[in-house]
């Protein structure tokens, strides 16, 4: 059995199983039912977005056979990238990949949406890895599916194909799409509202809120446009796939479960940092 090992440095998430359990047990999760078929979660280090990400993962149906964690950080024109190993070595133990579903997707995606084919994901990337220990905590018996998608409308169709592939294998599949929202400030070369509280309010109340509203409304093409034009999502391919899966499974519209920014970590008494990032948890329920 080939295992993919974690490649993120210490600080992204705890490397000890007991620390992971203590961290997640300490989070006051929102009281939503665990019936979501799809969710969107942030992918920063857990100190910044761990509680928000946990709200997404904890919303997913606990009866799932497979949790598909879809990442991004891929521009349009690149093929879908799949983790090819048999499993992932989580601090909570090994999480086995759903090899049958992966093989079917690799067969179906090129012919119906991605004519460039697929490729192995051999790169260090936080969008999937940072969420896996959390997924393993809430889904200790489930299979894992790890892949990343580019920022183009084909990724929306990929979510629909994933739903049909799972159905054909009689799998109860849930999807976790990974993205952070607005990256604001000098560090990200994006500061249209200057600095300070005015900038933070704009990210919270305008840029991120507009993207979340469009996502809840299920407008796929507008989601892609806003992510690229407003720089309001860094991994929109994953978001599009999550929405495509949700719509194919006939779920109701999305629901915002939690929201925050990395600026919140410094506390209300601190000055607004020059650079910060927005995070949201959303779920789609049956």
Residue 40: predicted pLDDT: 98
pLDDT at 135: 98
Pairing mode of beta strands 183-184, 93-96? unpaired
pLDDT tens for each residue of the chain, 286 residues long? 899 999 999 899 999 999 999 999 999 988 877 899 999 999 999 999 999 999 999 999 999 999 999 999 999 999 999 999 999 999 999 999 999 999 999 999 987 678 779 999 999 999 999 999 999 999 999 999 999 999 999 999 999 999 999 999 999 999 999 999 999 999 999 999 999 999 999 999 999 999 999 999 999 999 999 999 999 999 999 999 999 999 999 877 799 999 999 999 865 557 899 999 999 999 999 7
Number of structural domains found in the chain: 1
How many Cα atoms within 13 Å fall on the side-chain side of residue 99? 10
Is the Cβ–Cβ distance between 157 and 111 less than 8 Å?
no
Return all residues near 130 (Cβ < 8 A) that are at least 6 apart: 8, 12, 13, 43, 44, 45, 46, 53
Alpha helix ranges (H) inside the chain: 17-25, 46-59, 99-112, 126-129, 132-138, 154-168, 197-202, 208-217, 220-229, 236-248
Token pair, residue 125, equals 């990337």
Residue 268: the pLDDT is: 57
Q: Name the pTM for this structure.
A: 0.96
Q: What is the pLDDT of residue 112?
A: 65
Token pair for 219: 């407008």
For 47, phi then psi, to 5°, come to -65, -30
What is the CATH number for 55? 3.40.830.10
**Predicted pLDDT at 171:** 97
Domain that includes residue 280, residue range: 3-285
Instruction: Please name the residue ranges forming H helices in 193-276.
Output: 197-202, 208-217, 220-229, 236-248
């Amino acid at each position: 059995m080939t295992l993919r090992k974690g490649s993120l440095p210490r600080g992204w998430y705890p490397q000890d199983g007991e620390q992971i359990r203590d961290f997640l047990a300490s989070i006051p999760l929102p009281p939503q039912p665990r019936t979501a078929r799809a969710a969107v979660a942030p992918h920063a280090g857990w100190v910044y977005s761990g509680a928000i990400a946990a709200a997404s993962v904890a919303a997913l149906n606990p009866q799932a056979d497979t949790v598909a964690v879809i990442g991004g950080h891929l521009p349009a024109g690149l093929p879908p990238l799949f983790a090819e190993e048999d499993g992932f070595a989580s601090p909570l133990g090994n999480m086995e990949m759903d090899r049958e579903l992966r093989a079917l997707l690799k067969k179906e995606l090129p012919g119906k949406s991605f004519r460039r084919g697929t490729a192995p994901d051999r790169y260090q990337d936080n969008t999937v890895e940072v969420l896996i220990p959390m997924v393993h905590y809430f889904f200790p018996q489930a299979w894992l599916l790890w892949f990343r998608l580019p920022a183009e409308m084909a990724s929306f169709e990929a979510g629909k194909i994933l739903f049909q592939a799972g159905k054909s294998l009689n799998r109860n599949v849930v999807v976790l799409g990974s993205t952070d929202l607005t990256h604001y400030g000098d560090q990200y070369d994006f500061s249209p509202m200057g600095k300070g509280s005015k900038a933070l309010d704009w990210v919270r109340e305008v840029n991120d809120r507009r993207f979340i509203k469009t996502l809840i409304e299920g407008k796929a093409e507008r989601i892609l446009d806003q992510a690229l034009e407003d720089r309001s999502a860094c991994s929109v391919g994953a978001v599009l796939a999550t929405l495509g899966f949700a719509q194919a499974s006939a779920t109701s519209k999305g629901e915002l479960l939690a929201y925050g920014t990395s600026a919140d970590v410094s506390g209300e008494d601190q000055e607004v940092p020059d650079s910060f990032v927005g995070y949201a948890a959303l779920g789609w329920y049956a």
